[in-house]
Amino acid sequence: MKACVLHGIGDLRYEDVPRPVPKYGEVLIKIMASGICGSDIGRVFVKGTYHFPTIPGHEFSGRIVEVGEGTDAELIGRKTTVFPLLPCMKCSACQIGEYGQCRNYNYFGSRCDGGFAEYIAVPVWNLVLVPEALSFEEAAMAEPAAVAIHALRQAGVQIGDQVLILGAGPIGLMLGKLARIWGAEKVLLIDIDEEKIAFARAQGFSFVCNSLVTDPDAWVMEHTGAKGADLAIEGTGVSAGLEQCLKSTRSFGKIVAMGNPAGEIRLSQNGYWELLRKQLTITGTWNSSYVLLPKNDWTLAIQMMERKDLSVTPFITHRLKLSEVPGGLEMMRNHKEFYNKVMYIAEEK
């Protein structure tokens, strides 16, 4: 089969590799859509995967075309997406179903081969079967949607809340849409990229600020009745984003740290005073909840897309062939053009 294989940092090659054979309890999926996550840029060009060679990609969907021994053959032909974390099932976190905190996990696209390929073998446990009416593109967006849902659960959004989101990328926009569905009175978005801001407005967001052009402190106060946001979600992974959340959240408000850090995250003395004097609560969010019922973030993401409560395809700005994925990553890395969600789409034959 064809795949995009990372042989070393910055060395991603479109080439022939052996097609995987499903083992006991596994299925073989023909990948039909695979999203490129912002983390894939750092994975490919900066820090690499956990070993080489590795096929990146952890946001994918497809159709089951083969099953291994001990697997129900009725799964063949089903449309599915995949929870990309492979837990050890032995540690204390796994024993209580908190797989995101597994101490010895594996992960598609970073620790083992992922979705930038024509086929992938996946344990049945990781399958998230989706309705036939849902497109492969929508199904591939279930992973970032589940991450956004998990962050909002951590935030504890309540009806009437004024929610501030730092970062207007794909997950930031999904957070905004979901927060409004959850009952937020107002969603405020801050970014430093004018094209992202224009794109957010085109997606229906009225309150969007370019913090390089407009004073974000004054802007937030203007739109929150001078009290600050009830809660803020930091999605940039930079120190300035965290500082802004501390300044812009009201007394006794809550901050959710979500953005993957691009480097050291440092807090100024004034930022620390904001935390103390306003008695703010800061919580982290990581990955998504899977299997635990009734709060399975993946199930909810699929249901919301199926009901048309959450529309995700407008976020997709680039649809690539598998052979174009290396060039797409270069484009994203160098910001050669505006993009939101970039996705590899296979032809259904």
User: What gap in Å lies between CA 245 and CA 271, rounded to an integer?
Assistant: 9
Residues 129, 31 share a domain: yes
For residue 24, tell me if it sits in a domain: yes
Residues 186, 76 share a domain: no
Task: Give the CATH number, domain containing residue 321.
Answer: 3.90.180.10
pLDDT computed for residue 293 by the predictor: 72
Residues 100, 195 share a domain: no
DSSP string, 91-109: SHHHHTT-GGG-SS-EEBT
69 CB neighbour count, 10 Å cutoff: 9
Q: What tokens does 256 get?
A: 């959710």
pLDDT computed for residue 348 by the predictor: 74
User: What gap in Å lies between CA 128 and CA 346, rounded to an integer?
Assistant: 19
Residue segments in the chain with a per-residue pLDDT below the cut of 50: none
Residues 133, 47 share a domain: yes
pLDDT computed for residue 349 by the predictor: 66
Residue-number span of the structural domain to which 202 is assigned: 148-284
Residues 133, 221 share a domain: no
Angle at 322 between CA 320 and CA 324, to 5 degrees: 60
Residues 155, 49 share a domain: no
36-53 burial: b if 16+ Cβ within 10 Å, else e: bbbbbeebbbeebbeeeb
Kindly report the backbone phi and psi dihedral angles of residue 314, in degrees, each rounded to the nearest multiple of 5, phi listed first.
Answer: -65, -15
Residues 111, 8 share a domain: yes
Residues 173, 102 share a domain: no
User: Whole-model pTM?
Assistant: 0.95
Residues 133, 101 share a domain: yes
For residue 298, tell me if it sits in a domain: no
Strand-pair category, 162-166 with 186-191: parallel
Residues 222, 114 share a domain: no
Nearest CA-CA partner of 44 in 7, 15, 16? 7
For residue 209, tell me if it sits in a domain: yes
Strand-pair category, 341-345 with 316-320: parallel
For residue 333, tell me if it sits in a domain: yes
User: What gap in Å lies between CA 28 and CA 94, rounded to an integer?
Assistant: 25
Q: What are the Cα distances from residue 27, in Å, to 1, 21, 140?
A: 16, 8, 17
Residues 82, 104 share a domain: yes
How many Å separate Cα 257 from the centre of its chain? Answer: 14
| Distance linking the first and last C-alpha atoms of the chain | 15
How many Å separate Cα 314 from the centre of its chain? Answer: 16
Q: How many domains does the chain have?
A: 2
Question: For tokens 């908190």, what's the residue?
Answer: 98
DSSP state at residue 175: H
SS (H, E, C) 34-61: EEECHHHHHHHHHHCCCCCCECCCCEEE
